[in-house]
Amino acid sequence: MGNIAEEFLIAAEDKAFDMSHRNIINSSIGKYDLATEASIPRFFNLEHAKRKAHVVKWRMMENLDKILPEFEANFQRRGGKVIWANDADEANREILNILQKASAKTVVKSKSMATEEIHLNEFLEKNGIESLETDLGEYIIQLLGQAPYHIVTPAMHLSTLEIAKLFNEKFGTPLDATPEQLTLKAREVLREKYLQADAGITGANFLIADTGSIAITENEGNARLTTSFPKIHIAVAGIEKIIPSMADLDLFWPLLASHGTGQNLTVYNTILNGPRQPGETDGPEEMYLILLDNGRTNLLAQKEQRQGLYCIRCGACLNVCPVYQNIGGHSYNTTYSGPIGSIITPHMKGMEEFKHLSYASTLCGKCTEVCPVKIDIHKMLLLNRRDAVQEDLSPKVEKWSWAMWKKAMLSRKFTDFLGGKWKNMLMKFAFKKSWGKRRELPHVAEKSFSKQWQERQKGEPDA
C-alpha cells in the first residue's frame, strides 16, 4: 500500500471519530437536504431533464475533437485568446507568462476547482504574485492555509465560532461576531482589492460552443467583480465543460443550482463573450481561456468510464455519500473528493497512487441516484477496482491471499481440510488488520455444511 493510501486511512479514521467534525457536517448537510427537498420537486419531469443532460454531455464527449475547435473559433472571433494546456505545469506557466508580460503583481480570483487542481495560488505566490480568493468560503480557507473541503462549499467543515476566531486574529473583529458581521468585514477587505488588482482569474461552469461564450454561476457576485474591474481576465476550464449551445443553459443551470445548493437558480449567472468591445463600458481589455487537459484525455480514453467527464460539479454525490459524511473532504488528499473524485482521480492522477479511493465506498448507489447527469457512479467505482487488478497493482500479499482462497473454494476436500477452529485462527492472523480493528471478523462454524451432510448421510461428500 502506497503512502497516499496509508495517509488516507489514518486521516479517515481520525475524522470518523471526531464528534465535533461530525456534528458540523451533519448540520451543514441537513440544511442542504432541506433545500434540495424543496427545489428538486419543482422540476416538471426530473428524470427526463437528467436523461437529456446525460445525452447532451455524452454527445459532447464523443465529439470533443470537433466541438472544442468550434468553440475556440467562436471565442477568438470576439477577441478572446485560447491556450491549450496539457497539464498543470503548462497551465501555470502560460498564466505566469500572461501576468509577467503585463507586469501584474496582484490577482483576484473567483471560486474555481480547476485552479485548485493546478495549485495556482501556491505557484503564483512562489513567483512573487499575490493571488487573493474572493469567494467567502475560499477566502476563509485561504486565510487558514487549507484546501477546499467540498466542491461547492469549501469551508463546510468550519463552525461560525471557528471563523469568528480566525477573523478576530486577522482583522480584530469581535469573537462573538455573527455570520452577517463576518461577511461585511470580508466584503470591506475584499472590495478594495478588486479596484487594485492587475488581473482577474475565474473558472467556468460551462463553455458554450456555438457562441464561444463562458458561463459562470455564483451566489456572491465576486466573479462579476473579478471579471469586470481588472484589465485582464484569465479563465481556466477543463476541456469537459463544453456544451453545444446557449439554449442548453436552460437545462444545465437549473440542474446545477437545484442539486448543488437547493436553489431554483443561483443568484448571479453570467455569460462572457470575450474582452470589452467598442462602445461597452466595462469588462477586461484582454481575455484568455486556458483549456485544461491534465489527465482528462486519459479518462476520455476509457470507453466504460469516460462518463465521469459528464460531471457538472454540483457536489450532490458528496452530500449523500455515507463515507464522505464521516471522513470529510480533506481525507481524500485530492482536489475532487467524494464519489466523483474517487472515480476520476485514479485516471487523472494515476491508478497506482489513487486506486484506494475506489474502495472508499459502500456501493449503496445513492450517488448514482442523485446525479443530475445520470453518471453511473457506483458502477464506475467497480470498474476502477477491476482496472487496478488487471493492471497488476494489487499488493503481493493480497494476490497470494486471493489465490489461496480461490484454491480452497474450488476444492471441497481442501476447504474441509481445516476445522472451524483453525479457520477462525487463520482468518484472525491473516485478515484482522485489513478487516479493521473496529469490526469483528465473520465466525466460521465448527462444522461445514458438507461435513454435517456427510454425518447425516454417512457417505462421502463430493470432491
Please indicate, yes or no, whether residues 161 and 276 belong to a single structural domain of this protein: yes
Please indicate, yes or no, whether residues 124 and 223 belong to a single structural domain of this protein: yes
DSSP string, 350-413: -HHHHGGGGGS-----HHHHH-TT---HHHHHHHHHHHHHHTT-S-HHHHHHHHHHHHHHT-HH
The rounded average pLDDT for each run of 10 residues, N- to C-terminus, in the chain (463 residues) is 82 92 93 93 95 98 97 96 98 98 96 97 97 96 96 95 96 94 93 93 98 96 95 98 97 97 95 92 94 97 96 97 95 96 96 94 95 97 95 83 80 74 78 75 82 77 49
Please indicate, yes or no, whether residues 274 and 364 belong to a single structural domain of this protein: no
Domain assignment present for residue 419? The answer is yes
**Bridge partners, 236 (sequence order):** 290
Please indicate, yes or no, whether residues 38 and 64 belong to a single structural domain of this protein: no
Q: Is 350 left (phi over 0), alpha (psi -120 to 50) or beta?
A: left
Please indicate, yes or no, whether residues 327 and 442 belong to a single structural domain of this protein: no
Please indicate, yes or no, whether residues 252 and 382 belong to a single structural domain of this protein: no
Domain assignment present for residue 50? The answer is no
Residue 269 CB: number of other CB atoms within 10 A? Answer: 15
**Is residue 270 within a helix (H) or strand (E), and if so which, with residue range?**
strand 268-272
Pairing of β 242-243 and β 130-133 = unpaired
pTM, full prediction = 0.90
Computed from CA positions of residues 81, 276, 294, 377, in that sequence, does the dihedral angle turn out positive or negative? negative
Q: For residue 84, what is its C-alpha cell?
A: 491549450
Please indicate, yes or no, whether residues 153 and 288 belong to a single structural domain of this protein: yes
Instruction: Note the pLDDT of residue 463.
Output: 45
* Cα three-residue angle 414-415-418, rounded to 5 degrees: 90
Name the residue type at position 280.
E
Instruction: Note the pLDDT of residue 459.
Output: 57
CB 199 within 8 A of CB 63: no
Instruction: Note the pLDDT of residue 460.
Output: 55
Host domain of residue 207: 55-294
Please indicate, yes or no, whether residues 171 and 259 belong to a single structural domain of this protein: yes
Q: Which of 348, 364, 394 is the last residue of a domain?
A: 394
Q: How far is it, in rounded angstroms, from Cα 408 to Cα 422?
A: 14
Domain assignment present for residue 405? The answer is yes
Please indicate, yes or no, whether residues 388 and 440 belong to a single structural domain of this protein: no
